[in-house]
Copies of this chain bind each other. A is one copy, B any other.
């Protein structure tokens, strides 16, 4: 659920103001048949909950619905922005690839150094997991699934992949790739 929340808050934030269908469109256009599958129902449910919790509020963008039935547009409250950052940080800490992917999708909305330190801290428990998995005993003819060499081997491999993907991402960030929220220079310095 926190994935849906993160995605909904993030898309609204990117657009400033938008409605349920707009969120759905963005999300479905973003997913290249991978990393998400958010059904309309989940989005509208998330919107209701987020509104009830004061994370978002109805708003009016200039453009009135040109097509189709009427819509409700939303924007984030201050509380919603805080919640978004919290969820984003958690996603970047997650061992689950879907979560991590959602985190990466929005990572530029946190300061570069902040993202770097989250990812670096993430490596510690991740490496511990790998080390732990490697201590698990296996049997050539496993008496139960937890001792199956293929199963255990697959998870070790998966975790190692997550580690290497994280390392690679860190390198890009250290190398200065991408533009983070703290690096926006809109080409002209401040107005006097």
Total copies of the chain: 2
Whether A151 touches B101, Cβ cut-off 8 Å, given contacts A141-B179, A179-B141, is yes
B-contact 0/1 string along A136-160, CB 8 Å cutoff: 1000111011101111111101100
User: Residue A165 at the B interface, CB < 8 A?
Assistant: yes
B-contact 0/1 string along A149-175, CB 8 Å cutoff: 111111101100100110011001000
User: Residue A118 at the B interface, CB < 8 A?
Assistant: no
A10 CB, nearest partner CB in chain B, Å: 9
Whether A105 touches B165, Cβ cut-off 8 Å, given contacts A34-B155, A155-B34, is no
Inter-subunit contact A35/B155 (CB<8 Å): yes
Alpha-carbon distance A169/B148, docked complex (angstroms): 12
Beta-carbon contacts under 8 Å, A1-59 to B: 26, 29-35
**What are 30 A-B pairs at a CB distance below 8 A?**
A26-B144, A29-B146, A30-B144, A30-B145, A30-B146, A32-B132, A32-B133, A32-B136, A33-B132, A34-B133, A34-B155, A35-B151, A35-B155, A97-B158, A101-B151, A104-B145, A104-B148, A104-B150, A104-B151, A104-B154, A105-B148, A105-B151, A106-B145, A140-B177, A140-B178, A141-B179, A154-B165, A154-B169, A157-B161, A158-B161
